[in-house]
Amino acid sequence: MAARTAEKYAKYMFPTVRTLYEEPIVMSRGSGHYLYDEDGKEYLDFFGGILTCGIGHANPKVAEAVSKQAHTLQHCSTLYIIPGQVELAERLLGIVPKGISKFTFANSGTEAIEAAILMAQIATGNDEIIALRHSYSGRSKLAIELTALHNWKQGMAPSGNVKYTHNGYCYRCAFGLGYPSCGMKCAYDLEELIRTSTRGSIAALIAEPVQGVGGVIVPPPEFFPIVADITRKHGGIFISDEVQTGFGRTGGKWFGIEHWGVEPDAITAAKQMASGAPIGALMARAELADRWTAPSISTFGGNPVTMAAACATIDFMKENDTKANAEAMGARLTDGLSRLQRKYPCMGDVRGKGLMIGIEFVKEGKEPAAGLLLKVLEGTKRRGLLVGKGGLDGNVMRLAPHLTITQGEIDGALSVLEDSIAEA
Ligand SMILES: Cc1ncc(COP(=O)(O)O)c(C=O)c1O
């Protein structure tokens, strides 16, 4: 049955949207931390629909809230006031970093980022944007331009409004230096980039606190304070792209940027905040949001059903302190992976924060080993564990279990990973 569905999929769908694995999985059901394919095979899900299902598939609280709202008012558009938007804004106000107090909702991370850039340009009167190298921002033309990974560029020619500054990628330092003796050259280089490659004033710098698609890249503690300062000195706002890192994913904090002690001017969020209902959110300082006054609408943005899903998700996260579990389970998973790393030199780097972890697979001399990772992925799939992949060279395994994951499931996944790596 699954083979027949896959055949029809290949026939009807645009080929640009890629599936994982030699034989793609035809997924039919999710429950808690597990997914089930069309043939009934069970998989422990360590990728959560690309970091979107953070509190268990078909979470009963979310399902109930969505069903109740769908039976009450499914849609009316932003021409009318949707109470769920206010309810979500009040919940967000209680958890966002200091200074953020206004919200607008969309349908995806891409749309949230589009809105953030537009707001930054309107609010500052500048148009040039800085993105980090190895960043990923989505699938609109602007988001593709903000993305700094050649394999996601769709062959598009750049418009020239975006410049790319260094990220804090210590394992492959662009300057060939080592932390901390490097003096944070990667961060300070932003000053030079702005002075030499822009008109001197910028609208914004957009950055993922931990770069996800780029390969789970975690910069050193000094990185964001330095780049945020330089950005503001040149008239720009600091946008923290929390599409992957938001809502407790990085453990112990609601938003990834909090680990660096920086208060962003704006935050973009999506994915995990509504447990799979399509959502995007732009959250900003009031003085920035209030400068965007020309009329706009979003037919689906902030719709009642999605708002109900997001409110129920945040309530569940608070009631179950999922960000604390992400911290504890993230430490357990990282410890286990570090033990494996001592045994298997192909695991060149193990890094991450909370339950957002990457393993960079390498050959001798740190050469990226994308082929080896693909073999490991096939092995984990066969053994019933789903993980992701990323990185500029496609050699980084990405692990992002549900925030509610248990010790037993972490230990089980570690043993599947060990067997699959040994086999590959
Ligand atoms: C950091 C980041 N920003 C933006 C996006 C785009 O979000 P979406 O796919 O919901 O448009 C993604 C998607 O993976 C992402 O990881």
pLDDT band at 155 (very low <50, low <70, confident <90, very high): confident
Residue nearest to atom 6 of ligand 1 (CA): 138
401 close to 33: Cβ distance less than 8 angstroms? yes
Q: What is the pLDDT of residue 182?
A: 98
Instruction: Calculate how far, in angstroms, residue 390's C-alpha sits from the geometric centre of ligand 1.
Output: 13
What is the rounded distance in angstroms from the CA atom of residue 301 to the CA atom of residue 299?
A: 6
Question: In degrees, to the nearest 5, what angle opens at C-alpha 108 toward C-alphas 208 and 391?
Answer: 40
- Top CATH class of 62-319 equals alpha beta
Protein residue with least CA distance to atom 13, ligand 1? 138
Residue 158, pLDDT above cutoff 80: no
- Measured from the Cα of 208, ligand 1's closest atom is 1
Atom from ligand 1 closest to the CA of residue 113: 4
Is 0.95 surpassed by the pTM of this model?
yes
Atom 14 of ligand 1, residue of closest alpha carbon: 138
Please provide the CATH number assigned to the domain covering 2-55+321-423.
Answer: 3.90.1150.10
Place of tokens 């049955």: 1
pLDDT in tens, 118-148: 999 999 999 999 999 999 999 999 999 999 9
Closest CA to 374 of 387, 357, 355, 356: 387
The pLDDT tens digits of the residues spanning 175-184 come to 999 999 999 9
Instruction: Give me 199's structure tokens.
Output: 């008109």
Question: What amino acid is encoded at 134 in this protein?
Answer: H
Residue 149 CA to ligand 1 centre (angstroms): 13
- Taking the C-alpha atoms of residue 201 and residue 236, their distance in angstroms, rounded to an integer, is 7
% pLDDT > 90, the chain:
97
Return the ligand 1 atom nearest residue 138 CA. Answer: 6
Q: Is pLDDT at 350 greater than 90 in this prediction?
A: yes
pLDDT tens digit string along 365-399? Answer: 999 999 999 999 999 999 999 999 999 999 999 99
Cis before 180 (ω within 30): yes
pLDDT category at 3 given cuts 50, 70, 90 is confident
List residues bridging with 67 in a β-sheet.
none
Tell how far the Cα of 47 is from the centroid of ligand 1, in angstroms.
Answer: 14
Å from CA of 269 to ligand 1 middle: 9
Domain ranges of the chain: 2-55+321-423, 62-319
Task: Please name which of 363, 362, 388, 393 lies closest in space to residue 377, comparing C-alpha atoms.
Answer: 388
Mean pLDDT calculated for residue range 401-412: 98
Residue 199: enclosing H or E segment and its boundaries? none
Residues with CB under 6 A from ligand 1: 50, 108-110, 113, 136-139, 208, 212-213, 241, 243-244, 270
